[in-house]
Structure formats: C-alpha cells, structure tokens
C-alpha cells in the first residue's frame, strides 16, 4: 500500500460509485481493492452514508478544480468548447458515468447529506457555465443561468445515452448536434 488507506478508499469508492452507484457500493469489494478488511473501513468512515458524502464531495471538488483550470487556461469561448470533455473523460475511463447522474437516478434511496452533495455538483457546474456563457457573450446575463442548466442537463443526458451503448463516438455526435442546433455555442 502506497498512500494512506483513507485516500485509497476514497479513490476506489469513487470508481465503484461511478460504475455501480451508491447502492452498488459495497464495503467488502472496496476493502479488498484497498488491501484491507471491510471492518477496517469503519475506522476511516463511520458509516456508508459518511463514505457516500465524502465521495460525492470529493467528486465535485475535483470537478470544480478541473473547471477552474479550464477557465484559467483559456478564454470563455474555448473553455465552453472544452466543457463536454469533462464528461467525455468519464466515458473514456471504462465507460463510467458522472457520479452525480448516477446518484440523481438513485435519489429516492440516498441519505439526506449525500443528496446535498449531489446538488452541489450540479450547482458548481451551472455556476461555472453561467459565468462563462455571460463572459463569452453567448447569452445576456439574465438568461445565462437558465441556459447553463439546459446545457448541463443535455450534456449529462448525452453521457447517459452514450454509456448505454458504450459508444464514445455517439457522445461526440450528440455534442456536435447540440452545437449545430444552437444549444451549445458553436
């Protein structure tokens, strides 16, 4: 074992939750991947709900960092152009789904604090998109949040559909079609 167990658990849980959801997360498989026993996980996370919260929070934190890096590296138009790439990378990574899309599906069965983190993921994406859309002059400031939400929902939907076909090219076609139709800036 290289790093500390807590980080290793978090990383493994993130991968598993993106493939199998919160319900599909199980401590025994998780532990064996990390090289400890299931009971040991409880030393780091007092319950499954706590692990779920930690994974979802880390997930949006990582995404926020990716988004901020995009913003710093490029002008708003280019940054917006690269936004779908974040969802594409999940598909590239063993056809994985956005953790928060999966958890949105599972919403009824999620512990309350996990729900909050899922919503924060959406909020982070919408806020970033909204700011870039305004900065790029795509839509007036008054309409930017609404458009941001539409883009977020559509890109998540494209990822979901592409995953169900294990077809990254389909994802690319869908994004191109969003651009051609006018939902995403060309």
Residues making contact with a second copy (CB under 8 A): 19-21, 23-24, 95, 97, 100-109, 115, 118-119, 122, 146-147, 149-150, 152-158, 160-161, 163-166, 170, 173-174, 177-178, 181-183
Q: Token pair for residue 57?
A: 């929070």
Query: Phi and psi at residue 55, in whole multiples of 5°?
Result: -65, -45
Site string for DNA, 29-68 (x = CB under 7 A): x-x----xxxxx-xxx-xxxx-------------------
Residue 177 near which of DNA, a second copy, none (CB within 5-8 Å, type-dependent): a second copy
92-114 as b/e, with b when 16 or more CB fall inside 10 Å? eeebbbbbbbbbbebeeebeeeb
Rounded CA-CA distance 34/6 in Å is 9
- Which sign, positive or negative, has the C-alpha torsion 115, 88, 61, 147? negative
Give the residue with the Cβ less far from a second copy, 11 or 150: 150
181 binds, among a second copy, DNA, none (CB under 5 to 8 A by kind): a second copy
128 binds, among a second copy, DNA, none (CB under 5 to 8 A by kind): none
Distances (CA, A) of 41 to 6, 26, 56, 102, 154: 8, 11, 17, 23, 36
Distance CA(73)–CA(69), nearest Å, equals 6
Min CB(94)–DNA separation in Å: 19
Site size toward DNA (CB under 7 A) is 21
Binding site for DNA (CB under 7 A): 1, 4-5, 25-29, 31, 36-40, 42-44, 46-49
């Amino acid at each position: 074992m290289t790093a500390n167990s807590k980080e290793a658990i978090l990383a493994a849980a993130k991968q598993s939750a993106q493939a199998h959801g919160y319900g599909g997360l199980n401590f025994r498989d998780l532990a064996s991947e990390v090289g400890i026993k299931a009971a040991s996980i409880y030393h780091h996370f007092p319950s499954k709900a706590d692990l779920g919260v930690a994974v979802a929070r880390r997930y949006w934190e990582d995404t926020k960092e990716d988004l901020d890096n995009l913003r710093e590296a490029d002008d708003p138009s280019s940054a917006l152009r690269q936004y779908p790439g974040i969802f594409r990378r999940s598909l590239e990574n063993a056809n994985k789904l956005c953790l928060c899309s999966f958890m949105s599906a599972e919403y009824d069965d999620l512990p309350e604090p996990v729900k909050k983190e899922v919503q924060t993921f959406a909020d982070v994406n919408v806020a970033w998109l909204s700011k870039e859309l305004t900065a790029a002059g795509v839509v007036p400031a008054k309409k930017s949040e609404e458009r941001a939400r539409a883009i977020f929902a559509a890109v998540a939907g494209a990822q979901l559909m592409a995953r169900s076909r294990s077809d990254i090219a389909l994802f690319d076609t869908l994004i191109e079609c969003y651009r051609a139709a006018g939902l995403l800036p060309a």
